[in-house]
Every structure is written in structure tokens, then in C-alpha cells.
Structure 1
Amino acid sequence: MYPILIVEDEPSMLMGLKDNLEFESYEVDTAEDGEIGLNKIMENHYSLVLLDVMLPKISGFDICKKARAKGIQTPIILLTAKGEEIDKVLA
């Protein structure tokens, strides 16, 4: 089984997610901005990506689009505080 990647720029959210997943015995990798996250997705295999939408450098939406355009089919869960209908449609 491959690790789970968390791409999140908020340190407390990142550590909370990481700690909880590791507590459940998952291997976890992290990225603190969109550019690092995209590079990790392109260069590694993951079982799951937890991806914040609002990130520095590259948005979560753009990371998702680029990963899918390259044929990466890893499941991606978008994390966002946005609740507008257009945000849901974009996701």
C-alpha cells in the first residue's frame, strides 16, 4: 500500500490530519504548498491525496486538473472551506 499525501498550507490542519492518519497506522507524506504537492503527485505513487483547494503557488483545483491530464488516477479528496455552488461544480 502506498502512503497518503496531504497537501495543506495551514500548519495546525496539516499536523492534525497527519497525526490522526498515522495513529490509524497509515504512512503519510506532506506538502505545504501547491508547487511541492504537484511535484510529489507527479513523481510518486499514493493511495490517496488529501488536497486543500486554497494553496500558495498552485491551487488545489489546478493540481487536480494537471494530475488528471497526466493520467494519474489516484483518488483525490478536496478539502475546502468554500461552500458556494460554483466551488462544488468546479471540484
Structure 2
Amino acid sequence: MASVLVADDDIDIRNLVSYKLTQAGHEVTAVENGLAALKAVREHPVDLALLDVRMPGMSGLDVCRELRADAATRAVPVILLTARSQEIDVETGFAAGADDYMVKPFSPRELTSRVEAVLARLSR
């Protein structure tokens, strides 16, 4: 079982993602914005962070950059969730340090598969 952080300002998406990952056997911490995401990761290390790109205050991109800049959180894998699907948006996400990038709307099954794939790379 992995510890997963879910940060999304949309409560419906946050609840759906949390539910599916809990069903898959993961321990989920769900927060509503980027600042809460950083605080959660720093207080309770996680195995993976799922971050919405567009959140008020601090975006998922900014959170990802902060995680990468801190030696204590640098290795935490990040999957970005976003409605932005243009090539430049994807490039920006990976340039910020994301390990994967999922465009909304997404299939909960695909989300679970991608989470498992990223986690499997960690255990190698």
C-alpha cells in the first residue's frame, strides 16, 4: 500500500480520485490547494503526489517545482492532472519535474493504472 497525496480544488474530482485510489489499496490524503499540498507532504511524506495544475493560490506546477527544489521531497513522484492538453502545456508540466501528465476528463481506470506504473518504477 502506497501513501498518495491528492490535491485538487474541485471537490468532485478530489473525491473520485481519492475513492478510486483507496479502493486500489492506497492510503490517501486529499487537500484542496497547492499550499495545503506542500504542507501535507512536508508533515507526512508520501510515495506519490497527484496535483491539479490549476488551483487557486499555488498551482500544481508551482508545487511540483517546490517539491523538486527541496532535497527532502525531490524524489517524490508527481502526476499532474489538468484540463490543459496543448503540447506546450504538457512540455511545461514535464519541465516542472512531473513524472506523468494526465488530461481531464480521464478514466478512473487509466488513473489507477498510471499510479501503479509510477509506483512500480519506484520499487525497481
TM-score between the two structures when normalised by the length of structure 2? 0.69
Say whether the 8 Å CA contact 2:2–2:26 is kept in structure 1. no
| RMSD of Structure 2 on Structure 1 (CA) | 1.2
Query: Which of structures 1 and 2 has the larger relative contact order (alpha carbons within 8 angstroms, sep 6+)?
Result: 1
- How do 1:16-55 and structure 2 match up within 5 A? 16-55=16-55
Q: Distance in 1 between matches of 2:78 and 2:56?
A: 18
Q: What is the CA-CA distance between 1:74 and the residue it aligns to? A: 0.7
Say whether the 8 Å CA contact 1:3–1:47 is kept in structure 2. yes
2:87 is the counterpart of 1:85 = yes
Q: What is the CA-CA distance between 1:12 and the residue it aligns to? A: 0.6
Mind listing any 5+ residue stretches in structure 2 that lack a counterpart?
94-124
Which residue of structure 1 aligns with residue 77 of structure 2?
Answer: 75
Mind listing any 5+ residue stretches in structure 1 that lack a counterpart?
none
Which residue of structure 1 aligns with residue 13 of structure 2?
Answer: 13
Q: What is the CA-CA distance between 1:39 and the residue it aligns to? A: 1.2
Percent of matched pairs sharing the same residue: 34
Q: What is the CA-CA distance between 1:2 and the residue it aligns to? A: 4.7
TM-score between the two structures when normalised by the length of structure 1? 0.93
Aligned length: 91
